[in-house]
Amino acid sequence: DQQVKQNSPSLSVQEGRISILNCDYTNSMFDYFLWYKKYPAEGPTFLISISSIKDKNEDGRFTVFLNKSAKHLSLHIVPSQPGDSAVYFCAASASGNTGKLIFGQGTTLQVKP
Amino acid sequence: KAGVTQTPRYLIKTRGQQVTLSCSPISGHRSVSWYQQTPGQGLQFLFEYFSETQRNKGNFPGRFSGRQFSNSRSEMNVSTLELGDSALYLCASSLAYGGPPGNEQFFGPGTRLTVL
């Protein structure tokens, strides 16, 4: 049972444009969501998080939007840069349990110069 | 501040053997979680330790075990290795046990285990 889903295995965008990565979840107990970026042969790098009491969180070029009613979140990267090319994972945890992350399958983002 | 370190980075074992992987969290972090990454199953939670106690456990057989020491360093052990245990094993640390804010997990580079 895939509780966190990233339905797009890959995404290709032009440098300078917006990248939008999507994530859906099924477990209504999840109330904390994170995005990680991963390069080959490295561990995931934390990018940005959002609590269920918010619907938007920004950090520089990265913005995460949360739609609780749709159980959907998205990561926007503006503007996209070639160095953003990596695998992006969406993760979720339940209240008071941030040490147990449930991950999506990942989306490979390619930013073309 | 140094990040999460994991040793060894690469390991080759044969079926039936056992293996111990080590993780040193970021200084000041007291919670350590372990994950397994495989091409087929993705990133899956193994267990979480805080204050030398296992706080959470994922859906893995009892061959997978772990422990945490008083300095927050953690080890995980896999006994009677199977071919399917070949994976990248990732350790993550966070400040404390429980909820946000500020309790995000930071990952180490992982240990690549190959079982022949």
Quick check: B44 and A49 CB within 8 A? no
- The reply to whether A44 touches chain B by the CB within 8 Å rule is yes
CB A84 within 8 A of CB A19: yes
The closest CB to that of B107, out of A32, A43, A98, belongs to A43
Identify residue A70 by its one-letter amino acid code.
A
CB B114 within 8 A of CB B11: yes
- The reply to whether A106 touches chain B by the CB within 8 Å rule is yes
Largest CA distance in chain A: 42
pLDDT one-digit tens code per residue, B9-54: 999 999 999 999 999 999 999 999 999 999 888 899 999 999 999 9
Token readout for A64 is 């995460």
CB B73 within 8 A of CB B62: no
Token readout for A52 is 């269920």
Sign of the torsion angle spanned by Cα atoms B31, B36, B41, B43: positive
pLDDT one-digit tens code per residue, B45-62: 999 999 999 999 999 999
Contacts of B98 in chain A (CB under 8 A): 96-98
